[in-house]
Amino acid sequence: MIRFVRGQLAAADGDGVVIGMGGLGLHVRVSDTTRAELPAVGSEVLLQAHLVVREDALDLYGFGDDRERLLFEALLGVNGVGPRMALAICGLGTPEALAIAIGGGETAYLTKAAGVGKKTAERVILELRDRVGIASGGAGVAALPATPRSGAREGLVALGFAPEAVDAALAGAGDDMDEEALVRHGLAALGR
């Protein structure tokens, strides 16, 4: 199994990137999230990888980090979600943001991905909610590390605030804040 690809970023197009290595150019499909973090063409790049083998093709998918790769692999385990749909979902945002959306049951967020309807979004949430472990760290294969923001969100939701209101309250918080500061910020924004 191919776990990573390192080489020179030779080209980027709408369907992925080409990474030159050892005299070969490997076409690697990437999410919009990973594409946004890529260096300039000609720079060296390292992508975590997942190889999908089909009867008529070998498709290589690349990710900026292991968390995104693990989420992609978990999505592939959901009935009705193929590689392209899983990649589209990964392209909605960071793995942490997706874990929050899945954990919070936010079907509207997931339906923003190409090809994802309400029923598919509900199935993703149902099958992965317990596996993405927002602040608890989860025990599943797709468990994502807790972040200060996800911990603060979980705490505020546990206090009885609506997930949408909590997300809006935390939207203006700085990225350098710890969990306690984020909770205080959220409470102030929510009027408590």
Tens-digit pLDDT profile for residues 50-78: 999 988 989 999 999 988 999 999 999 89
Q: CB under 8 Å to 97, separation ≥6 — which residues?
A: none
**Residue labelled with tokens 């949430």:** 125
CB count in 10 Å sphere of residue 59: 16
- The pTM score is 0.69
Total residue length of the chain: 192
Q: Domain 4-64 belongs to what architecture?
A: Beta Barrel (2.40)
Which CATH superfamily is 66-143 part of?
5' to 3' exonuclease, C-terminal subdomain (1.10.150.20)
Helix runs in 129-190, H state only: 148-158, 163-171, 179-189
Q: Are 19 and 28 in contact (CB under 8 A)?
A: yes
Q: Are 104 and 163 in contact (CB under 8 A)?
A: yes
Q: Are 74 and 141 in contact (CB under 8 A)?
A: yes
CB count in 10 Å sphere of residue 88: 20
Q: How far apart are CA 32 and CA 4, in angstroms?
A: 18
Q: In this model, does residue 34 exceed pLDDT 60?
A: yes
pLDDT value at residue 123:
94
Domain 147-192 CATH class label: mainly alpha
pLDDT digit string, tens, across residues 111-152: 999 999 999 999 999 989 877 754 334 433 344 445 677 777
Sorted by where each begins, the domain ranges of the chain are 4-64, 66-143, 147-192
Q: In this model, does residue 186 exceed pLDDT 90?
A: no
Q: CB under 8 Å to 175, separation ≥6 — which residues?
A: none
